[in-house]
Amino acid sequence: MIRPNFAAITLSLLLAGCAPAAMDRAAAPATADYAAALADPARPAADRERDAARKPAELLAFAQIAPGEKVGDYVMGGGYVTHLLAAAVGPKGHVYAFQPAEFIAFKAQYGTDQAAVDAAYANVDAVAGPFAAPAFAEPLDTIITVQNFHDLYLKPFPEGTGAKGSAALFAALKPGGTLIIVDHSAADGTGTTLADSLHRIDKAAVVEILTKAGFKLEAESDLYKHADDPRTANVFDPAIRGKTDQFALRFRKPG
């Protein structure tokens, strides 16, 4: 997630009550299958300290990540998800870690972090380029973006960036590929209007945007649900930071 001064994931998934469709359990690896990925010695200690809140095994299970897949981490940030994906897909898989050029220009550390993850794994390639035009080298099985979809609607980006970015994500996936969105919940009915001020986005707006781009909503999870979050504070507010209500959605590209 881009910092706020930019001018301006118990083992459970709430899938039984999914309105769009039930999860294909035959296609979803069990959470325990990801123990080796979490124990990967290449994961930084700082990442492990964040695991209790970010629930990495459950996220990988919801995303149905399997060995040998080609996956993208869209807006990799410091590389928390990239490290997980690199271990989960294994040596026969590949991870494309995308960092927007605009983010790197804003804060050089984003580029430094990307280069470090790229150098640490033989199956990771760094990808840069415009936020709304990620140049992945091959069609992907899955793309994950965590706490960053709302950034497509920050004020510094031109109008239409969200639609262009959504279309680019659709184009980057293989037919039948999936897009995983995790983001901070905004109040119902606010659309994308609070993306800049609170770094939040309305779940319904994300569904509408990605449906227009051609995706089909397949499943959602309450993995990061915090019912006591009033969804009215900036996610960086110390009173709420790390305890925000978040939604997790899995979309599929028809094919």
Which residues of the chain are under the pLDDT cut of 70? 1-32
Structure tokens, 153: 């609607």
Task: Fill in the amino acid letter for 102.
Answer: E
The number of beta carbons lying within 10 Å of the beta carbon of residue 118 is: 18
How far, in whole angstroms, is CA 150 from its chain's centroid?
11
Structure tokens, 84: 């997980």
Task: Name the DSSP class of 30.
Answer: P
Task: Name the DSSP class of 29.
Answer: P
* pLDDT of amino acid 4: 37
**Closest by alpha carbon to 172, among 216, 124, 140, 219?**
140
* pLDDT of amino acid 124: 98
Beta-carbon contacts of 78 under 8 Å, excluding residues fewer than 6 positions away, are 113
The number of beta carbons lying within 10 Å of the beta carbon of residue 175 is: 9
Structure tokens, 158: 């031109």
Structure tokens, 87: 């271990």
The number of beta carbons lying within 10 Å of the beta carbon of residue 241 is: 11
Structure tokens, 130: 């415009």
* pLDDT of amino acid 150: 98
Beta-carbon contacts of 236 under 8 Å, excluding residues fewer than 6 positions away, are 3, 4, 199
Q: Which residue(s) pair with 127 in the sheet?
A: 98
In this structure, the strands spanning 216-221 and 246-252 are: antiparallel
Q: Give 167: exposed, middle or buried? Use CB within 10 Å, 0-12, 13-18, 19+.
A: middle
Give the residue extent of every domain in the chain: 25-252
pLDDT single digits (tens) 95-109: 999 999 999 999 999
Which CATH fold topology does 25-252 show? Rossmann fold (3.40.50)
* pLDDT of amino acid 140: 98
Residue 34 and residue 57 in contact, taking contact as beta carbons nearer than 8 Å: yes
* Strand, helix or coil for residue 156: coil
Q: Angle 82-134-78 (CA atoms, 0-180°, nearest 5)? A: 30
Structure tokens, 19: 């309105």
pLDDT single digits (tens) 203-215: 999 999 999 999 9
Structure tokens, 134: 């990620």
**CA–CA separation, 239 and 216 (whole Å):** 35
